[in-house]
A and B are shown apart, each in its own frame.
Chain A
Amino acid sequence: MKIIACYKWVLDEADLKVEAQSRRLLTGRAKSKISEYDRNALECGVQLIDESGGEVIALTAGTGGAKSSLKDALSRGPAEAVFVKDEIMAQSDPAVTAKVLAAAVRHIGEYDLILCGEGSSDEYSEQVGIRLAQLLGIPVVSFVNKVQVADGVLRAERKLDGGIEVVQVQLPAVVTVLPDMNTPRIPSLKQILAAAKKPVKELNLAGLGLDQAQLTAKVRRQTVLGTVMERKGIRFRGEAREVVQQVLTVLNKEGLC
C-alpha cells in the first residue's frame, strides 16, 4: 500500500505571545513544529504500513523555512519526503494549499490513501484534506479516529457531533485524522540519524504547472490581534485555610455560598 501523509510546518503556539498594549502577535521567539494533528496522520500512515506493508511518503508545502521539518517528518517513519517549496505559501489560504497539494499528489502519481490532520494547530480551518479529496475526485472520510484497511477497502469511524459514524469506502481516498486516533511516536536517536539518509524530493510551483491565478488566496487577511481578556490576576498564597477563606469571599459575592 502506498500512503501519502500530508503535514504543515507551523509556529508552535505555546511560544507565541501577545503584546498587552497593542494586542500585536509576537512571533519572534517562536520555534516551529509539525502541526499536532498532522503528527497523528503521519503516525497513522506508519502504523498501517507496519501492519500490511508498503510505504509512506511525507508531503508538505511551505516556504524555505519548512526545510527544517523534513528530517523531523522522516524520523517518524516515512520512507521519503516530498517538499513543495515556494515563498507564496506564506500567503496561502486553504483553497491555495489544497490546489498545491493536489498538484503534488498528481506528480507523485500512484497512491492508495492520503492522510491529513483534520486541522492545523495555527489556522485550524479544517478544510485542506477535504478540499484535496474533492480536487482529486476521490472520496473523503473526515474527522476519523479509527481506521482499518483490508483488500483495498477502508473502514473508518468518524467522530461527529451526534455520535460515531462507521463508513466503508473503496480506496483511493483521503482521511482526515483526529488527535485521539493514536499517540505519535517520539523518534529515537537511531530513527533521527536514519532520517538524514532518506530521499527528499523538492518541487516548485512552476514545475507543478500552477499559475498565478490559481495561487492567489481567496481570503485576504487584514489583521491578527490578540484576543482581549481582562482578568484580575489575583493570587492567593499562604496557609490552605487562609487561601480558602479568601476564595470563599469571592464565591460569596457570586451568591454561591
Chain B
Amino acid sequence: MSEIWVVAEVPAALNELIAHAKGLAEGEKIIALTFSQDAAQAAASHGADRVLCFEGGQRPEAFVDQIIERAQAARPTAVLWGASRRDKEMAARVAAALDAGLVSECFSVKRNGSEFTTERCVYGGLCVASEVSQAPFMGTLTPKTIEAPAESPAVGIEVISGGAEKCQVLEMRPSKSSSNLGEASVVVCVGRGVSKREDIELARRLAKKLDGEVGCTRPVAEDLHWLPEENYIGISGQTVKPSVYIGIGVSGQIQHISGIRDSKTIIAIEQNENAPILEAADYTLVGDLYQLLPTLLDALKA
C-alpha cells in the first residue's frame, strides 16, 4: 500500500482532492484516475505523481469494473473521491466490491498512521459526526473544503481504453441554466411563505437592488417549479456563503439551514415566531411579508 488515489469526473474537484491527498500522504504516491483529457491534464499539472485517463466509455461509470480490478491489485492506502453524483455512485460500487468502508461527503479528513478520522454532517446538517476508519480508507470529499494546489510541471498521462457496462445511455441533456448562487455576496431566498408565483418578482427586485442573486427552498423549485432546480438551497442543493442572506417566507427546515450555515449575516422575514429560521437568523423581521417586503423595497427605492 504505497499509493493514495484521487478519483473525480470534474477537473476542479480532482485538483482539490490532490491537495487533500498531499496533506494525508506519508510517503505514498498520488495517483489520479480521470475520465476526460481536461481532467487528466489538470491533475497532471497540479501535483499528481501519476495520471490515468480512462477513455472510450460512454460515461465514467463504465470503468467501475476496471477500477475495482486495479484497486484489488494496487491496494491503495486511501481512495479520495469527488462528491458529484457520478463520483458517489462509482465510490459506493467500488467500496462494496472491495468490502471497504466509505465515508460520504467528508468536509475534513485527518490521518494518524493507518487511522483516518473524518467529519461529516448528519441529521440534515443538525450535527457533525466524527468517525474513524482504518486503512484502506475511502471517502467522498465535499468540494471547496481546501485550496487546489499550485500548478507544477506536468507528468505524463497514461490512456486506458475500454469501458463496458450493462446500462445504455440513450441521451444526456446538459442543464440549461447555471446558477451563481454559490459565489453571490447577497442571496435573497424565496420560501413557501410566498403565496404566488408572481410575487417572486418582489424578491428579484430586492436582489437586484442589493446586487444579489435569488434562490429558493427545495419545495419552491421541486414541487412548485417556480424557479429552476439549480436555484434551490439546502443540503441536497446549493450551498451559499454570502455576506447577507435574506429569507422571505422561509420557515427554516434543517436541510435548508445547512445550505446557508456559512452566511455571514442571516436576515429572515417571517410571521411565525416558532419557525426554526428564527433560531438560525441574526435578525428576524417578525410580521407579514406582504407588508414588510413592499415597505423595504420602497425604503430602498428598489
Q: Which residues of A contact B (CB under 8 A)?
A: 11, 13-14, 16, 18, 25, 93-95, 98, 121-127, 130-135, 139-143, 155, 158-170, 179-180, 183, 217-227, 229, 231-237, 240-241, 243-248, 250-251, 254, 256-257
Contact = CB atoms under 8 A, between A and B. Distances in A.
Nearest to A129: B92
Contacts of B126: 13, 16, 18, 25, 226-227
4 smallest CB-CB distances across A and B, nearest first, come from A218-B101, A131-B96, A130-B92, A134-B96
Nearest to B174: A163
Contacts of A246: 283, 285
Contact of A169 (B125, B167, B299): B167
B165 to A, nearest CB: 7
Interface hub of A94, A134, A179, A246 (most chain B Cβ within 10 A): A134
Interface in B200-248: 209-211, 218, 222-223, 229, 235-236, 243-244
12 contacts: A127-B88, A142-B89, A163-B175, A164-B175, A168-B170, A170-B166, A226-B126, A229-B280, A231-B281, A236-B286, A240-B295, A257-B210
A175 B281 CA distance: 38
A168 B254 CA distance: 35
Contact of A256 (B95, B130, B186): B186
**Chain A binding surface SS class:** mixed
Nearest to A161: B84
A196 to B, nearest CB: 31
A240 B273 CA distance: 16
Given A219-B133, A233-B281, A155 B254 contact: no
B175 A165 contact: no
Contacts of B84: 160-161
A250 B128 contact: no
A135 B96 contact: yes
Contact of B171 (A131, A166, A217, A257): A166
Given A163-B174, A167-B167, A227 B125 contact: yes
